[in-house]
Chain A
Amino acid sequence: MKFKTLNLPGRLAALLLALLPLAARGAGQLNLFGWSEYVPQPVLEGFTRETGIKVNFETYSSNEEMLAKLVAGGGRYDLVQPSDYTAEAMIRRKLLQPLDRARLAGLGNLAPEFTGRAHDPEGRYTVPYMSGSVGIVVNTEKVKTPVRGYREVFQAAHRDRIVVVNDSRELVSWALYALGQPVNTVDAASLARVRPLLAEWIKLVKVFDSDSPKTALLNGDVDLGVVWSGEAALLWRENRKFQYILPAEGAHQFVDVLAIPAGARNVAEAHRFIDYILRPEVSRQISAAFPYTNPNLAARRLLTPDELANPASYPQGGKLESFRDIGRAAADIDRLVTDLKSAK
């Protein structure tokens, strides 16, 4: 064996060389905790190729799930991807750490309407990743009557033909909109008012799915739904019969952000990842895979006219509104939805 011919210093050097990757791995890794169906694999691979930083990617399918695991798991995550209203609660709870904006050269690429929003007015903790809305998608080959708002989705004629995201706050907000109630000041009285309406609606739904609500529509198991705009955009790309409609009563606009948890260990790597995402050509890849609304103006310039024309990615008009942190009422909302679903 060749190894035997090495003298002692040579052997030590070989040993060091063998251990080097271990040391490098310890320093150069990033524990990313993000939404499922939201971060394209090529983006992660491109980041690792360029920086040598290994990305450990774990996914969740609701803000609540992310919070539960983050609070339980301590410093296991270096970068999370909450929605704006959840980020707001996390900032209030000191679960996020301030960003070093000097390390984020690409911040200037962001459209002004996506920065300085209510959840983080000075942009100290969060950087927008993608934005979107929650709206109605209709298979126009199957549904011939016009559908403009929530009440026209949830009607007896559509029993067992509806898919909705499995998210309690979303469900309740649709009923609040339909009743002309504010969605960001939720209390026992407003929940009592939506209860009978929501009870009727929930009975009509065939599938609750937050991960991939497009699947049931694509497979023909349901004909209409209330889903994330990115899912609707993918459906439209697949077949123009799937139309996206912003509900007339009002719709939720979300901005999902990148943020670094207070207990993160690989803070430098997290900053590098955020800055990587801010690059136009990288952000462009995200739009190609998950066609939500891209808050990165420089990246938007790289999109094809076809991508920009997708009505679910870049809807025209509509009454859009952000969610705000509603504190304890979130638990009451979930209790209401659990009760109503169980009562079926």
Chain B
Amino acid sequence: MTPEPVARDPGARPGTLAWLLLAPLLAWLALFVVVPALLLLGCSLGERDEFGQVLWGFSLENYARLLDPVYLRIFLRSLGFAALTTGLCLLIGYPVAYHLARAAPRVRELLLLLVMVPFWTSFLVRTYAWMAILREEGLLNALVAWLQPAWAPLGLLYTPAAVVTGLVYSYLPFLILPVYASVEKLDGALIEAAHDLGAGPWRVFPTVILPLTLPGIAAGVTLVFVPAVAMFAVTDLLGGARVPLIGNVIQNQFLQARDWPFGAALGVALLGLFLVSQLVLRALRPRGALRG
């Protein structure tokens, strides 16, 4: 029997001390999340003047422009790229995380370190390294030419495939780590019990292991999906800036077109999209797993 959890009165209000302790966090959130979000919203209702400065006002024109099929398509494409990236990260990252968590402690420490090592260098440097690998006279093509000269050179750089490769590479650790944390907490006795009751590995995984690691998966998926939707550096460098994703379009509005109001409207739309997707995710999550 597990001990009865400490009863909490859902209606209890935090005391003064709790508010004091929370104050820095709340101030931080207000200053760096709420205020900028409101600024963004305000800006999105404005217009740009001839010189690119923001004229504050109240116009929904920027939102009307969002409904242009061109931008709807970019939104869909960005979601598609992010979904593909997330899916691949899950496919590659889950087994890695699982075996990491189940490895002998010493090996585990070393492997975890290896997952983190890429963070020691700048993200941009690592992306440039991918350019050196993928380009026409690059490392990968040299290998292909040596193995099978008839296939070389493969046009790899500046393609959607290069973008997805770069995205998966960049975000993989963000999926591995939360899944790892959740597999580590997994109670081995439950798996043994499932085996004792006659379930084979193909049965145990979907009915026992997967549901129990769902919180880690949910956290990992969010950590990969959200930044992947808005990424622009990888698409510029590995994609040759020719297949714009929503992050590129937003960046362009602020730096190239200097149409901040439209850029802000795109930002607000993206924010709204995440909010909705989080609500959907929350609604879909099984009740039991929430507390895992």
Binding site for B on A (CB under 8 A): 62, 64-65, 67-68, 71, 89, 93, 160, 163, 166, 168, 202, 205-209, 216, 219-221, 327-328, 331, 334-335, 338-339, 341-344
From B73, B158, B255, A206 is in contact (CB under 8 Å) with B158
Tell which of A65, A68, A168, A328 has the most Cβ of chain B within 10 Å. Answer: A68
B100-152 interface with A by 8 A CB criterion: 135-138
Residues of B within 8 A of A206 (CB): 158, 240, 242
Q: List 24 A-B contacts (CB under 8 A).
A: A64-B256, A64-B257, A67-B51, A67-B258, A68-B52, A89-B51, A163-B240, A202-B242, A208-B240, A220-B135, A220-B137, A327-B50, A331-B50, A331-B258, A331-B259, A334-B256, A334-B259, A335-B259, A338-B244, A338-B249, A338-B257, A339-B68, A342-B73, A342-B244
Residues of A within 8 A of B254 (CB): 68
Binding site for A on B (CB under 8 A): 48, 50-53, 68, 70-71, 73-74, 135-138, 155, 157-158, 240-244, 249, 252, 254-259
Residues of A within 8 A of B257 (CB): 64, 168, 331, 334-335, 338
4 extra A-B contacts, CB within 8 A, seeds A71-B53, A341-B244: A71-B52, A168-B257, A207-B158, A221-B157
Residues of B within 8 A of A334 (CB): 252, 256-257, 259
Residues of B within 8 A of A166 (CB): 241
Q: Known contacts A221-B157, A338-B252: does B240 contact A209 (CB below 8 Å)?
A: yes
Tell which of B240, B243, B249 has the most Cβ of chain A within 10 Å. Answer: B240
Residues of A within 8 A of B249 (CB): 338, 342
A160–B259 alpha-carbon span in the complex (Å): 30
The reply to whether B51 and A93 contact each other, CB–CB distance below 8 Å, is yes
The reply to whether A208 and B74 contact each other, CB–CB distance below 8 Å, is no
A14–B147 alpha-carbon span in the complex (Å): 70
Residues of A within 8 A of B255 (CB): 62, 64-65, 68
The 9 residue pairs across chains A and B that have the minimum distance between CB atoms:
A207-B240, A334-B257, A208-B241, A65-B255, A328-B50, A220-B136, A219-B135, A342-B70, A221-B136
A284–B44 alpha-carbon span in the complex (Å): 47
Closest to B257 in A: A334
Instruction: Tell me how far the C-beta of A53 lies from the nearest C-beta in chain B, rounded to whole angstroms.
Output: 29
Instruction: Tell me how far the C-beta of B37 lies from the nearest C-beta in chain A, rounded to whole angstroms.
Output: 18
The reply to whether A168 and B74 contact each other, CB–CB distance below 8 Å, is no
Residues of A within 8 A of B252 (CB): 334, 338
From B68, B138, B243, B258, A68 is in contact (CB under 8 Å) with B258
The reply to whether A65 and B256 contact each other, CB–CB distance below 8 Å, is yes
The reply to whether B256 and A221 contact each other, CB–CB distance below 8 Å, is no
Closest to B135 in A: A219
Residues of A within 8 A of B157 (CB): 221
A208–B48 alpha-carbon span in the complex (Å): 26
The reply to whether A342 and B256 contact each other, CB–CB distance below 8 Å, is no
Residues of B within 8 A of A207 (CB): 158, 240-242
A168–B241 alpha-carbon span in the complex (Å): 13
Tell which of A89, A219, A327 has the most Cβ of chain B within 10 Å. Answer: A219
Residues of A within 8 A of B68 (CB): 339
Q: Known contacts A328-B50, A342-B71: does B137 contact A219 (CB below 8 Å)?
A: yes
Tell which of A160, A209, A221, A343 has the most Cβ of chain B within 10 Å. Answer: A221
Residues of B within 8 A of A220 (CB): 135-137
The reply to whether A205 and B136 contact each other, CB–CB distance below 8 Å, is no
Residues of B within 8 A of A219 (CB): 135-138
Residues of B within 8 A of A160 (CB): 155
Tell which of A168, A205, A341 has the most Cβ of chain B within 10 Å. Answer: A341
Residues of B within 8 A of A344 (CB): 242-243
A202–B240 alpha-carbon span in the complex (Å): 12
Residues of B within 8 A of A208 (CB): 240-242
From B52, B155, B158, B243, A64 is in contact (CB under 8 Å) with B52
Residues of A within 8 A of B244 (CB): 338, 341-342
Closest to A339 in B: B70
Residues of B within 8 A of A65 (CB): 255-256
Tell which of B158, B241, B256 has the most Cβ of chain A within 10 Å. Answer: B256
Instruction: Tell me how far the C-beta of A143 lies from the nearest C-beta in chain B, rounded to whole angstroms.
Output: 15
Residues of A within 8 A of B48 (CB): 331
Residues of A within 8 A of B137 (CB): 219-220
Closest to A92 in B: B51
